[in-house]
Structure 1
Amino acid sequence: MTGSKYIDYDRASNIGRRLIKNEENKNFGLLIICGINLGLRISDLLQLTFEQLKREEFIVIERKTNKKRQLKVNEHIRDALTFFESDLIYQMGGSAFTSQKGTIYSPQHVNRELKKYLRGSFSSHSLRKSFGRRVWENDDYSDRALICLSQLFNHSSTQITRIYLGIKQEELNDIYMNL
């Protein structure tokens, strides 16, 4: 459960925005922005359409759990979408994460691109973990945030969420450093 590591939210956000603004790889930049702001598994993230992302909120049925999840489109995603408004696929509401060939990205392609643009051993799951870490940090590292994340990630306990986010090991390391 702890195989992938999280990406610093601000770093990922800056790289995503750069890829969009410079038109270096707009769709992949949007994928990064959506990944760190929605907290979806890659199988669910890749299925998103521009039609969904243009709404204030939308519902997905998670592939792994078959559970409904209501998502809100925040300002970071809305800002990124402004760079797509003249694109035909955006106007038609088509798949948001397509390659230049017009096919939906594969998880393997996403992993290769993350390693390339983020220069590290990151995977598509790192985006989901980054979302979780950001929620936890923004709520002052509270147990309340862990409870919400545990529910959102469909974990059976906050202990599993702590391990998932890499928090437990950091706390153990701090014991040694604070002697």
Structure 2
Amino acid sequence: MQGSTYIDFDKANSKGLKLIRSSENASFGLLIIVGINLGLRISDLLKLTYKHLRSDELEIIEQKTKKRRKLIINDNIKNALKYFEEYNDEFYAFRSQKNTVYSIQHVNRLMKKHFKGSNISSHSLRKTFGRRVWNNNNQSEKALMYLSELFGHHSISTTRKYLGIRQEELNNIYINL
């Protein structure tokens, strides 16, 4: 599965916090942090309000699959939200300087600007989440099973390809000869 690639989780988290703290682009910084911690598609991320993010958990119906998902708001997101306390709960969380919700195209332009690389896009945030889960669970089949379910994939092999794991394993065959 070609397309976007993942970003190192810690690098993405640091970039998000830097954008928030410097006020260079706080809303986009929050989008990065929320994206890598929830693993949602960009179409679902852009619909989140501050009220969603200020709760301990949220429930959404995914736009693409129409499936209901329950998500936990973790400490990474809660810590980033401390910089947004003055914003109304009903406001969409990810808005441009013109106060309109980001378009997917604009998010992709910002991703390319802040994360150098040819295959970086809004989808990289979801893949970064997946890679973090996989690595935090010792790159186990169990982690791939969970991710396969979270991502709505039909098989673990699809999840492997999606995360670029399969290609890495194939490349290692040549490297380790």
Please, what TM-score do these two structures have when normalized by structure 2? 0.97
Report sequence identity in percent: 59
Match of 2:99 in 1: 102
Match of 1:142 in 2: 140
- Is 1:80 matched with 2:80? yes
- Is 1:114 matched with 2:146? no
Q: Give the Cα separation in 1 of the matches to 2:88 and 2:75.
A: 19
Cα drift, residue 151 of structure 1: 0.3
Match of 1:39 in 2: 39
Contact 2:49 2:89 in 1 (8 A): no
One-letter code of the match for 2:148?
Answer: S
Match of 2:23 in 1: 23
Q: Give the Cα separation in 1 of the matches to 2:80 and 2:91.
A: 16
Q: Give the Cα separation in 2 of the matches to 1:145 and 1:54.
A: 27
- Cα deviations by residue, 1:137-177 (Å, 9 ceiling, x for unpaired): 00000000000000000000000000000000100111111
Q: Give the Cα separation in 2 of the matches to 1:25 and 1:93.
A: 20
Match of 2:166 in 1: 168
- Cα deviations by residue, 1:10-65 (Å, 9 ceiling, x for unpaired): 11111000000111100000000011000000000100000000000010100000
> Unmatched 5+ residue regions in structure 2?
none
Q: Give the Cα separation in 2 of the matches to 1:117 and 1:69.
A: 29
Cα drift, residue 94 of structure 1: 1.1
Runs of 4 or more consecutive aligned structure 1 residues displaced over 6 Å after TM superposition: none
Q: Give the Cα separation in 1 of the matches to 2:64 and 2:89.
A: 28
Please, what TM-score do these two structures have when normalized by structure 1? 0.96
Q: Give the Cα separation in 2 of the matches to 1:91 and 1:126.
A: 29
| SS across alignment from 2:71 | strand
Paired residues, number:
176
**RMSD of aligned alpha carbons:** 0.8
Cα drift, residue 102 of structure 1: 1.1
Q: Give the Cα separation in 2 of the matches to 1:42 and 1:172.
A: 30
One-letter code of the match for 1:19?
Answer: L
